[in-house]
């Protein structure tokens, strides 16, 4: 008998283990409820198999059972874990919990009219979820829709705040409207590879990498964004996106960012960006748009551009910056497609500002006063530049501008070394206020035929070296002529030096065509034998004043000249004055003492005084 009882007990236990446990208190219309208090109920599951809800399920606000009415306030965890083809509608009374539907594979659509906050990871991993209707939701918690790979669109008209990663890896999401969102969380749309449309008209603050991996998102308009919040290159708002068009009409300042990998400042924008509209920005920081594919920039109120701001924007063809006053170092460096730029108010250009802008044909800078080193170096298409108020040109400023044919510099007083080095097409230049020409200033200006430098007192080394088209030059006030200044000027036939006191080595070496050298000072300038080629001493005429003839014949290297002609008028020692009109009934001579019928442009001898005609 004992044995039979034991077998019966084992059978009952086996049946109990095979049967699902019941977890509900009552059921109404196919919905299973648990009782929380005398008037609060919650939605639960029928048994531990979690498979009691499939297809369309609509939860009511209240439920009546056994004479009592209960308000339905929440859903027990795991209730829908094994549901299939679930379309769920919730009442406004239900409060959602963190991870409420996380991992529910069968959830296909969800709707609630409740004015609720969607909690953290609420729909995380619901990879069958396609439709979400949340007309009154106010905020989205962290990762609330992350990995919902089937979600195609979402309208969330009353959401104002989004936390990080809300829609991360929603790889099927094509469009989304968030008309009242003011704060856009980090990685909000990361991995939304097919997202094509995002509307964020009220967003004011955006955090890092919001659109990372949004390969099909071409454009975005952010009319109210005032701040892009990022600290490093990896945390940039637009890092990892494929955006081509960005419009931000209220942002006032944009900064470059530190790229810790290279310990340099880098752009905060994607390399794919072609157009950016910044209607109210006044400041663009260092490297703001460096190395990106910009074609169009609208920034009408920008005043300051940082270093490398548009460096290597090789697709940029034109830009207008009507309010800009300062351009940082390398601001437009290597913008090789740039053909037009308007900078009416710029006063200062940083070093290398337009270096390598090989397509830029001309530029006017009416208010620029200072041009930094290498400002236009290698601008090989530049033919004309107008600088009516510039006073200082930095080192190498126009070096190798091989197409430059015209330049206006009425107020420039200082030219840095190598300033026009290699400007092989420049035919002439007037520098009425310059006092010093730096080293190799016009080196290899092979087309230079005329230059007026009435106030220059010093020529740097190799200043006009290899100016092979220069045939004559007047130096009315130059005192110091450094070594190699006119070396290899192979067509130079005549030079006039009114006040020279010292001449450097090899100054006229390679000047094979020299025929006449006019040296006005009565005291011979100090010089070494090698200032001229040996052949020059025999083929060229040395013109001096009668009062200095014997000194020249007795002083090396001047004594080596075979022919010394004392035909310079003594009047050429008189200081000159400037006039702007012709003189009547005057005796007019050139610096060689030859009588002229009228005033010539340059220095004339008028009634015994030097007169400069401008």
* DSSP-assigned letters across all residues of 559-571: GG-SEEEEEE-GG
pLDDT at 598: 79
Position with higher pLDDT, 115 vs 534: 534
Q: What are phi and psi of 545, to 5 degrees?
A: -80, 155
Q: What percent of the chain has pLDDT over 70?
A: 89
How large is the average pLDDT for residues 73-87?
A: 92
Name the pTM for this structure: 0.77
**How does pLDDT run across 489-502, given as a tens digit for each residue?**
999 999 999 999 99
Contacts 24+ apart (CB under 8 A), 489-496: 489/464, 489/465, 492/467, 494/518, 496/472, 496/520, 496/591, 496/592
* E-strand stretches of 45-148: 54-58, 62-65, 68-75, 84-90, 107-112, 117-118, 131-133, 139-140
Which run of H or of E encompasses 606? strand 602-606
Q: How far is CA 280 from CA 200, 222, 301, 325, 481, in A?
A: 18, 13, 6, 16, 53
Residue with tokens 């795991």: 78
- With 90 as the cut, is the pLDDT of residue 124 above it? yes
Q: Report the pLDDT value the prediction gives residue 9, as an integer from 0 to 100.
A: 40
Percent of the chain with pLDDT strictly greater than 90: 66
DSSP state of 609: E
Q: Which of 604, 588, 607 is nearest to 596 (CA)?
A: 588
| Mean pLDDT of all residues belonging to the chain | 88
What pLDDT sits at residue 3? Answer: 44
Place of tokens 């110091």: 480
Q: Return d(Cα 2, Cα 70) in angstroms, integer.
A: 50
Element (H, E) at 15: helix 2-18
Mean pLDDT of 409-423: 93
Task: Give which of 381, 290, 378, 384 is closest to 329, Cα–Cα.
Answer: 290
**How confident is the model at residue 231, as a pLDDT?**
58
Ordered by where they begin, the domains of the chain are 19-95 (no CATH), 97-217 (3.80.10.10), 427-563 (3.80.10.10), 570-613 (no CATH)
| 541-545 β-sheet, strand order | 472-475, 494-497, 516-519, 541-545, 563-568
Among 436, 426, 502, CA closest to 463: 436
Take residue 242 and report the two structure tokens written for it.
């494929």
Give the pLDDT confidence score for residue 235 in this predicted structure: 65
More confident: 154 or 469 = 469
Tell me the per-residue pLDDT of 126-143, one tens digit each, with 9 for 90 and over: 999 999 999 999 999 999
Is pLDDT of 20 > 80? no
110 in Cβ contact with 83 (< 8 Å): no
Least confident of 43-52, 461-470, 598-607: 598-607
């Amino acid at each position: 008998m004992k044995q039979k009882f034991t077998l019966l007990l084992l059978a009952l236990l086996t049946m109990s283990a095979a049967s699902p446990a019941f977890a509900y208190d009552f059921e109404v219309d196919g919905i299973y409820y648990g009782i929380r208090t005398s008037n609060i109920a919650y939605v639960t599951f029928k048994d531990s198999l979690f498979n009691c809800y499939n297809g369309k399920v609509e939860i009511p606000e209240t439920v009546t059972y056994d004479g009592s009415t209960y308000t339905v306030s929440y859903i027990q965890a795991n209730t829908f874990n094994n549901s299939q083809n679930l379309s769920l509608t919730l009442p406004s009374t239900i409060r959602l919990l963190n991870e409420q539907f996380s991992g529910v594979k069968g959830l296909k659509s969800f709707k609630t009219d409740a004015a609720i906050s969607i909690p953290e990871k609420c729909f995380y991993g619901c990879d069958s979820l396609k439709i979400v209707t949340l007309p009154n939701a106010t905020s989205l918690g962290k990762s609330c829709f992350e990995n919902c790979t089937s979600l195609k669109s979402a309208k969330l008209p009353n959401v104002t705040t989004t936390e990080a990663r809300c829609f991360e890896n929603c790889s099927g999401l094509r469009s989304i409207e968030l008309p009242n969102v003011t704060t856009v969380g980090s990685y909000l749309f990361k991995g939304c590879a097919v997202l094509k449309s995002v509307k964020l008209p009220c967003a004011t603050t955006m955090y890092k990498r919001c659109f990372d991996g949004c390969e099909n998102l071409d454009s975005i308009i952010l009319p109210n964004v005032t701040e892009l919040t990022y600290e490093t290159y990896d945390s940039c708002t637009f890092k990892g996106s494929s955006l081509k068009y960005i419009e931000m009409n209220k942002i006032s300042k944009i900064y470059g960012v530190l790229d810790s990998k290279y310990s340099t400042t880098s752009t905060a924008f994607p390399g794919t960006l072609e157009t950016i509209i910044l209607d109210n920005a006044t400041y663009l920081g260092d490297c703001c748009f460096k190395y990106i594919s910009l074609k169009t920039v609208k920034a009408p109120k920008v005043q300051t551009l940082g270093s490398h701001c548009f460096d290597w924007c090789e697709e940029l063809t034109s830009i207008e910056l009507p309010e800009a006053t300062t351009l940082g170092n390398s601001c437009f460096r290597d913008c090789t497609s740039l053909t037009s730029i308007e900078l009416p108010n710029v006063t200062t250009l940083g070093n290398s500002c337009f270096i390598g802008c090989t397509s830029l044909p001309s530029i006017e800078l009416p208010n620029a006063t200072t041009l930094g080193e290498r400002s236009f170096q290698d601008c090989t298409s530049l033919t004309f530049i107008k600088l009516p108020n510039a006073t200082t040109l930095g080192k190498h400023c126009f070096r190798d501008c091989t197409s430059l044919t015209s330049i206006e510099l009425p107020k420039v007083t200082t030219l840095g070394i190598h300033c026009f080095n290699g400007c092989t097409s420049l035919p002439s230049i007037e520098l009425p206020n310059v006092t010093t020409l730096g080293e190799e200033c016009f080196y290899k200006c092979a087309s230079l035929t005329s230059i007026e430098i009435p106030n220059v007192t010093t020529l740097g080394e190799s200043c006009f070296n290899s100016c092979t088209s220069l045939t004559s030059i007047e130096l009315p006030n130059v005192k110091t002529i450094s070594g190699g200044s006119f070396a290899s000027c192979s067509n130079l036939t005549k030079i006039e030096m009114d006040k020279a006191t010292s001449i450097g080595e090899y100054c006229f070496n390679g000047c094979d065509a020299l025929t006449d050298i006019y040296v006005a000072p009565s005291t011979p300038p100090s010089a070494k034998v090698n200032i001229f080629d040996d052949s020059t001493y025999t083929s060229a005429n040395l013109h001096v004043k009668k009062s200095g003839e014997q000194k020249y014949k007795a002083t090396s290297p001047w004594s080596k000249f075979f022919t010394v002609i004392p035909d310079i008028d003594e009047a050429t020692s008189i200081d000159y004055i400037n006039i702007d009109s012709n003189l009547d009934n005057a005796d007019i001579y050139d610096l060689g003492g030859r009588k002229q019928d009228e005033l010539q442009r340059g220095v004339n001898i008028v009634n015994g005084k030097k007169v400069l005609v401008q």
